Amino acid sequence: MKTVKVGMVGSAFMGKAHSVGYRDCAFAFPYVKAVPVMKEICSLLEDEARAAAQRFGWERWSQGYEHVISSDDIDLIDISTGNNTHKEIAIAAAKNGKHIFCEKPMAMNAAECKEMIEAVEKAGVVHMIDFNYRRVPAVSLARQMIDEGKIGTPYHFRAVYLQDWIMDPDFPLVWRLSKDKAGSGAHGDLNAHIIDLARYLCGEFDSVCGLMKTFIEKRPLLNQEPDKPKKMGSVTVDDATVFLAKFANGAIGTFEASRFAGGHRNGNVFEINGSKGSVRFNLERLNELEYFDLTEDQKYQGWKTILVTEPVHPYVCGWWPSGHIIGWQHLFVHQVYELMNGIAEGKSPSPNFYDGLKCQYVLDAVEKSSANEQWVKVLE
């Protein structure tokens, strides 16, 4: 059996999640065309790298990313670090001939994305972006239904990605709230996902008009000294970003990302309305897809909740019998499954760096639109 030896850069939240993907891929899909081997994990601090290696099941660990990207026995570099490091690591890895799996958003802006594309094209390596929500069985099913014509001509795409974890004004100024480290706030973190889903399910963007908002502008710095007055710093990213969109195919869309939507822990919800039917999805109930069929007898029309746990549904056959639901972590297994097949076949699976760039064009256009208070054309 062909193997792919993986080197992971980053050992925090995403490092843990990606580890599940590599570990469970052949468990769920023994017929995958290449089996990942969890070779090396690295982190800024050696202690963290060692702890992660032991807990997540990596063979060895290192400090910094230099060792892992220059090791001869590594085939694939997984970039699970902060947004402002993606470009540097990806270009270095590509130069060393490594395939690349990169967290979203792809980079800080479209210019960085283009440099990364140039590097992977030159190196001829396989590349993929972790827009993992394409791999929810319910979302893949929605795409199948669209391909089968069940939605017809799309009219509306309506998506929100709502969270509420920084609503407390005493929540500190973490890296995700600084523009120089994160690029943006809710926008790059959350809108990136629903923009990618819109492209996957509805089509390319024509133009956008957006509004970025910071509700709480000063927050306590991390690592305060006790018994001293609290030091505050400026939040330099958006707490919420909303935007309208025109799609190339004539559909129109509304998008909203927020970290101030109380009661929504991870509320990635979208709906598409087309001439023949509608579908909607909610990540907090990710095993379900709702579908409305406008072609049915009027007497029996209704919103149908499909429990997407049947063996005929995408990715489900690898797991459990009908009605035995899967969780959020499973998406990474599906993602790795596609990535392994791509590497085995020498093809960059979708979503790849080109998708990452197109998403970035939309993100950038929304930022520009918000600054200028007018509609902005999305670059192609």
Residue closer to its own copies (CB basis): 74 or 136: 136
Instruction: In whole angstroms, give the CA distance from residue 378 to residue 359.
Output: 10
Question: Which of residues 226 and 321 has its CB atom nearest to its own copies in the complex?
Answer: 321
Contact pick of 284, 317, 347, 379 for its own copies (by CB under 8 A): 284
Hey, which residues between 117 and 146 contact its own copies (CB under 8 A)? 141
Using CB under 8 A, which of the segments 95-103, 128-136, 155-163, 190-198 binds its own copies? 155-163
Q: Using CB under 8 A, which of 62, 80, 109, 273 touches its own copies?
A: 273
Q: Does position 176 bind its own copies by CB under 8 A?
A: no
Residues 43-62 that bind its own copies (CB under 8 A): 54-57
Q: Using the rule CB under 8 A, is 7 a contact of its own copies?
A: no
Contact 375, 208 (CB under 8 A): yes
DSSP symbol at 188: I
Angstrom CA distances, 8 to 4, 134, 202, 313, stand at: 12, 22, 33, 30
306 to 345: interface string for its own copies, x by CB under 8 A: xx-xx-xx-----xxxxxxxxxxxx---------------
Binding positions for its own copies, 204-243, rule CB under 8 A: 209-211, 213, 215, 240, 242-243
> Interhelix angle for 192-201 vs 353-372, to 10°?
120
Q: Give the nearest distance from C-beta 254 to its own copies in angstroms.
A: 5
Residue 242, φ and ψ in degrees, nearest 5: -115, 150
Q: Which of 359, 376, 339 is nearest to 21 (CA)?
A: 339
Contact in structure between 308 and 128 (CB atoms under 8 Å): no
37 binds its own copies (CB under 8 A): no
Q: Does 292 bind its own copies (CB under 8 A)?
A: yes
Residues 6+ apart with CB under 8 A from 317: 311
Asked if 284 contacts 116 with a C-beta cutoff of 8 angstroms, the reply is: no
Query: What are the CA-CA distances from residue 112 to residues 21, 87, 277, 353 (Å)?
Result: 27, 6, 39, 11
Per the structure block, which two tokens stand in for 328? 């959020």
Stretch that binds its own copies, among 61-69, 86-94, 106-114, 256-264 (CB under 8 A): 256-264
Minimal distance, residue 26 CB to its own copies, in Å: 7
Q: Is 347 helix (H, G, I), strand (E, B) or coil?
A: coil
Residue from 37, 167, 232, 344 binding its own copies (CB under 8 A) = 167
> Judged by CB under 8 A, does residue 267 bind its own copies?
yes
Size of the site for its own copies (CB under 8 A): 85
